[in-house]
C-alpha cells in the first residue's frame, strides 16, 4: 500500500485551460475599465486585446461576439462598484452609513476617476442602445444599489425606505454624471455639495 502511494502521480493540472481562464479574466478586467473610460461605443475589440497583451485573433476563443464581451465587462464593472461600496460600509456605524456612502460617491475623487467608478453614471446614457445582456446586467446592478441604499435606513423594509432609496440613487447618479460633464471644477464641486446637503440628514 505504501509502495503504491509513493509512486502515485499527482493529478495533472490542465495548464492550457488555466492559461485560457487567466487570459479571459484579463480581457474582462481590461474591458470593464475601458467601457467606463471610453463608453460602449468607444470600446473596440482590437484595443482591448492589445491592452490585455493578446492577439486580436485570439478574441473568438473567448467570446462569441463583441456584445458578449461587453455584457461580461458590464457585469464585472457593476460587481466591482457594488463590492467597493459594500466594503467601504463594513466598518462604518449604521447611523453614519448613508452619509458615508453619499459623500464617497459624490467626492471629487470619484468624479475624476470614471475608469474605476460607478458604471451607471459612466454608461447610463448609452445603455438603452446596448444588447439585452448588457441592459440586464445594468438592471441587476441598479436593483442591488437601491437595496443597498435602502438598507441604510432605520425603517428598512418599509415602503418609505425603498422610495427614498430610489430618489437617493437617482440623485447620486445624475449628480455624478453632471459633475463629470462640466468643464468647471468649481461647478462640479457645487453640484456634488448641493446634492449631499439634500440627501444627508443634518444631525442635531
203 or 113: whose pLDDT is higher? 113
Model confidence at 202, pLDDT cuts 50, 70, 90, reads low
Give the pLDDT confidence score for residue 196 in this predicted structure.
97
Span 14-199: which CATH code?
A: 1.10.357.10
Q: Is the pLDDT of residue 9 over 70?
A: no
Q: What is the pLDDT of residue 4?
A: 44
Domain locations along the chain: 14-199
- Cα distance between residue 167 and residue 183, in whole Å: 26
Structural contact between residues 105 and 176, judged by C-beta atoms closer than 8 angstroms: yes
Of the pLDDT bands very low, low, confident and very high (cuts 50, 70, 90), residue 90 is confident
Residue 150 has pLDDT above 60, yes or no: yes
- Residue 95's pLDDT band, with cuts at 50, 70 and 90, is confident
Q: How many CA atoms lie within 13 A of 184 on its CB side?
A: 4
Measure CA 28 to chain center.
Answer: 12
Give residue 203's pLDDT: 55
CB 30: neighbour CB atoms within 10 A?
A: 21
11 three-state secondary structure: coil
Give dist(CA 167, CA 177) in Å, integer: 15
pTM to 2 decimals? 0.82
| Residues 31-61 pLDDT 10s | 999 999 999 999 999 999 999 999 999 999 9
Amino acid at each position: 500500500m505504501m509502495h503504491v502511494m509513493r509512486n502515485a502521480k499527482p493529478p495533472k493540472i490542465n495548464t492550457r485551460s488555466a492559461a485560457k481562464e487567466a487570459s479571459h479574466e484579463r480581457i474582462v478586467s481590461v474591458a470593464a475599465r475601458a467601457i467606463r473610460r471610453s463608453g460602449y461605443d468607444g470600446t473596440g475589440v482590437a484595443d482591448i486585446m492589445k491592452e490585455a497583451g493578446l492577439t486580436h485573433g485570439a478574441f473568438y476563443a473567448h467570446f462569441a461576439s463583441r456584445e458578449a464581451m461587453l455584457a461580461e465587462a458590464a457585469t464585472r464593472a457593476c460587481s466591482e462598484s457594488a463590492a467597493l461600496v459594500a466594503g467601504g460600509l463594513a466598518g462604518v456605524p449604521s447611523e453614519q452609513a448613508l452619509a458615508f456612502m453619499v459623500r464617497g460617491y459624490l467626492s471629487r475623487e470619484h468624479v475624476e476617476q470614471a475608469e474605476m467608478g460607478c458604471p451607471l453614471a459612466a454608461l447610463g446614457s448609452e445603455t438603452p442602445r446596448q444588447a439585452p445582456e448588457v441592459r440586464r446586467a445594468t438592471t441587476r446592478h441598479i436593483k442591488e444599489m437601491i437595496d443597498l441604499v435602502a438598507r441604510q435606513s432605520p425603517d428598512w423594509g418599509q415602503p418609505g425606505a425603498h422610495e427614498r432609496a430610489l430618489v437617493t440613487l437617482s440623485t447620486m447618479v445624475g449628480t455624478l454624471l453632471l459633475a463629470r460633464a462640466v468643464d468647471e471644477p468649481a461647478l462640479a464641486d457645487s453640484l456634488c455639495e448641493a446634492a449631499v446637503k439634500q440627501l444627508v440628514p443634518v444631525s442635531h
